[in-house]
Structure 1
Amino acid sequence: MKLNNLKMAGTDEVVDVGISGEQIANVSSNPGTTSIEEIQITFRDALVFPGLINSHDHLDFNLFQQLGTRIYSNYTEWGKDIHQAYKTEIAAVLKVPEQLRSVWGVYKNLLGGVTTVVNHGEKQLLEDAPLTVFENSHCLHSVKFEKGWKIKLNNPLKIKLPVNIHIGEGVDWPSYDEIDQLTRWNLLRKKLIGVHAVAMSEAQAKNFEAIVWCPQSNYFLLNQTAQVNGLKNSTRLLFGTDSTLTSHWDIWEHLRSARATKQISDAELFQTVNQNASKTWLMNNGEVAAGKDADIVIAKIKDHKKGFDAFFAITPADLLLVMHKGNIRLFDETILGQLKNIHVAEYSKVYINGVGKYVQGDLPGLMEKIKEYYPAVRFPLSANN
């Protein structure tokens, strides 16, 4: 397959991208010879970039609306408060079987151009997911909420797995102190990947392989976020959305929130959702380059924007194609005519802000099943224009 006439995100270099099987075969700025039999898709005013890597989500918690009554000092205050203030709302969502909730969480990510999502929680073991659900880590919830966390942290049977844990999610002393507790009890010196790290100092960050920045969730709970402009000097930065319990469903809204802080450069923020994450989680994606997994997103360029301005202006409605390991998982209705060999029956048509998208799988059917358990659910798309 050949994807033609694309601008590379950040540089605006015009390239053609060749796909062979699950990998990128070549990336060329000079049009090459193409077999007559080869499938070709030609784009106009389109940006290409690696499939986004969302390094923190709770897949089964994405049917919730944002829940909170005030600004909190830490995550434990928030957890106690919402279970008192929103008992009815929480119970209504939890009536939906966990499997259905998790599959919706996968589609929530796919609709935004995410091709890899790191799930935090119990392993979902979802079959035939249209993206990579990464669960190859030692997942602990947090110092405060994970019973027996010291023993679990030092489980010798999981010594090769990085520890993936919420840490420093607060603005008070206990939030800062729990970071030191975690590193002090990391007796086996396992690789630590901390999520949120709002209370973390640069000195503490040196003990972590990476931190996952979730600014929109942090601002909703705490009205503050991690000081990543300093933390980046001590550790690697990744990016996460968390679930809709504390943030917007659309990862692009999160990226714009992060960009608005002006804590890191556009290039650095871009790398949090591709190369940085790929290196941390040891995956063969994160770049539009030969030999890498063909996790690729192509989006419409709006208002003749250039460079990273074009990238950070993207919305889910602008996505023209989402490819995961060489398979087209989502495409815009405007390129249907070029997809000669595609089995349209494997896809369902949905509308995002009135724009038609074909998504692999029966997404409308999933939405109807969820409504049987939770009639009040609100989805950010529709099956009818």
Structure 2
Amino acid sequence: MILNNVNTITGDGPVNISIKSGNTTADALQLTFDNALAFPGLVNSHDHLDFNLFPQLGNRFYNNYTEWGKHIQTNYKAEIAAVLKVPLALRVKWGIFKNLLCGVTTVVNHGEPLPVVNAPITVEQCHSIHSVQFEKRWKLKLNNPLKRKLPVVIHVGEGNDEQSNREIDTLISWNLLKKKLIGVHGVAMTAEQAKKFEAVIWCPESNYFLLNKTAAAGDLKNHTTILFGTDSTLTGSWNIWDHIRRARETNMLTDAELYGSLHSGESSNRQLDDDYKGSIVIVKKNETASSFDSFYATQPDNILLVVNNGEVRLFDNTMLDQLEQLDLKEFSKVFIGRTCKYVHGDLPGLMQQIKAYYPGAIFPVTAI
């Protein structure tokens, strides 16, 4: 596959990008763009794929996640029960499509292993522990010798009180096997504590919704790697670009650092090459804006193409003439606002199935 006349984040002008997939049809494609920006597919380092049919739940700011958890379990029982009527497999599929529609090509799910079959994007299942407060036998799970080489991903320091800060110290002190720790949220984390973590996954929109405060990413970045995550729609928008712009507004990371957090911590200077395994997103570029300004202004409706592992997974209707050789029976049509997208898989059918269990489900796309 050749992607002609595209701009890159660090490039000085349009370039052509070659992607090999091993798929004869895909490899033969020659696509030409006009005023387009190409970048590696986004990495959403923290999501709960089965929790993305929920509306945002909560009506005030909380001191920590345990206070929020107790509040919603008491005050939103009906809303929670309505969503949980949807079979797990269907909820997971929607969580995957939610990410694809935004140009995410790799999502890391937090929680128990989920049923994922033939997903159009890459789903990584990590060694997850929910948290110090909510996970039973978390100390044993943390120090499981059979998993000593696996990094542990855990919600930690999700609060703005002393309890949340002490929780981080408790986790560190019980890491007896000195396993690599990847903390999610880290709102209460200090720079000194950050030194004990391989990475911290920053979820600013979720943090502001729950706590009206987020992690001090500008300080923590000097002591650990900052990755980026959305969490689920329980605490944030379905659209990762809303989360990204919220992060940019804090000015805690430079444009290059924030961009890197969306690509597994890699520098924005890294080139689009085989290291990305053919996971590329092409979006419309503002002619007068810088590459970074165009990148951070992206919305799902101006995504032109999503390629994951060399395979076309989503494309805009304006690309149809150049993509007619694809098997269009494998794609379904949906609208984001007034723009028509072709999505790999039966998204309209999935939405219809979900509605049968949960008539109140609201989707950000309309189906044909």
TM-score, length-normalised on structure 1?
0.92
Report deviation, 1:138. Answer: 1.5
Alignment of 1:2-13 (within 5 A): 2-13=2-13
Aligned to 2:357: 373
Q: Secondary structure at the match of 1:141?
A: strand
Aligned equivalents of 1:158, 1:309: Cα separation in 2: 42
Q: 1:12 to 1:257 in 2, by over 3 A?
A: farther
Cα pair 1:351 1:381 within 8 Å, conserved: yes
Structure 2 match to 1:351: 335
Q: Aligned partners of 1:44, 1:130: CA distance in 2, in Å?
A: 26
Percent identity, aligned pairs only, is 57
What letter is aligned with 1:106?
I
Residues 134-173 of structure 1 aligned to structure 2 (within 5 Å): 134-135=124-125, 137-173=126-162
Which residue, 64, 75, 79 being the options, matches 1:89?
79
Q: Distance in 1 between matches of 2:49 and 2:273?
A: 29
Q: Where does residue 281 of structure 1 map in the other structure?
A: none
- What SS does the aligned partner of 2:353 have? helix
Matches of 1:13 and 1:83, distance apart in 2:
53
Task: Work out the CA distance in 2 between the residues paired with 1:163 and 1:322.
Answer: 30
Deviation at 1:307, TM superposition (A): 2.2
Name which of 172, 185, 188 aligns with 2:174.
Answer: 185
CA contact (8 A) 1:22 1:325 kept: no
**Runs of 4+ in structure 1 over 6 Å off:** none
Specify the code of the residue in structure 1 equivalent to 2:9. A
Of residues 13-22 and 156-165 in structure 1, the stretch that sits farther from structure 2 once superposed is 13-22
Q: Secondary structure at the match of 1:276?
A: coil
Q: Work out whether 1:116 is the aligned partner of 2:89.
A: no
**Residues in 2 aligned to 1:215 and 1:263: alpha-carbon distance in whole angstroms:** 11
- Quick one: distance in 1 between partners of 2:242 and 2:111? 24
CA distance in 2, matches of 1:357, 1:209: 38
Structure 2 residue aligned with 1:100: 90
Whether the 8 Å contact between 1:275 and 1:287 is mirrored in structure 2 is no
Q: Which residue does 2:15 correspond to in 1?
A: 15
Q: Which residue of 1 aligns with 2:260?
A: 271
Give 1:192-203 correspondences, 5 Å limit.
192-203=181-192
- Report what 1:61 is aligned to: 51
Structure 2 partner of 1:33: none
In structure 1, C-alpha distance between the alignment counterparts of 2:353 and 2:156, rounded to whole Å: 35
Q: TM-score, normalised by structure 2?
A: 0.96
Q: Hey, what's the Cα distance between the residues in 2 that align with 1:38 and 1:106? A: 28
Q: Which amino acid aligns with 1:218?
A: N
* Residue 12 (structure 1) shift: 4.8
Unaligned runs of 5+ in 1: 24-36, 279-285
Per the alignment, residue 219 of structure 2 pairs with 230
Where in structure 2 are the equivalents of 1:230-249 lying within 5 Å? 230-249=219-238
2:321 matched residue in structure 1: 337
Post-superposition offset of 1:306: 1.6
2:45 and 2:228 in contact (8 A); partners too: yes
- Contact 1:22 1:294 survives alignment (8 Å): no
CA contact (8 A) 2:111 2:130 kept: yes
Q: Which amino acid aligns with 2:136?
A: K
Cα drift, residue 255 of structure 1: 0.3
Name the aligned partner's letter for residue 312 of structure 1: Y
Match for 1:74 among 64, 67, 74? 64
1:128 and 2:118 equivalent?
yes
The residue identity in structure 1 corresponding to 2:195 is K
| Contact kept in structure 2, 1:2 and 1:19, CA below 8 Å | yes
In structure 2, stretches of 5+ residues that fail to align are: none
Q: Which amino acid aligns with 1:14?
A: P
1:174-323 paired onto structure 2 within 5 Å: 174-276=163-265, 288-302=272-286, 304-323=288-307
Deviation at 1:287, TM superposition (A): 5.3
Select between 99-108 and 303-312 the one with higher mean Cα deviation: 303-312
Alpha-carbon distance in 1 for matches of 2:275, 2:163: 46
SS of the residue 1:164 aligns to: strand
Letter matched to residue 224 of structure 2: T
* Change in 2 beyond 3 A, CA 1:106/1:366: same
The equivalent position to 1:324 in structure 2, one of 295, 304, 308, is 308
Give CA-to-partner distance per residue, 1:52-79, whole Å, 9 cap, x none.
0000000000001000021000000000
CA RMSD after TM alignment: 1.5
State the secondary structure of the residue aligned to 1:243: coil
Contact persistence 2:86–2:354 (CA under 8 A): yes
Change (3 A) 1:145 1:366: same
- The 1-side partners of 2:143 and 2:81 are apart by 34
Indicate conservation of the 8 Å contact 1:331/1:357, yes or no.
Answer: yes
Aligned length: 363
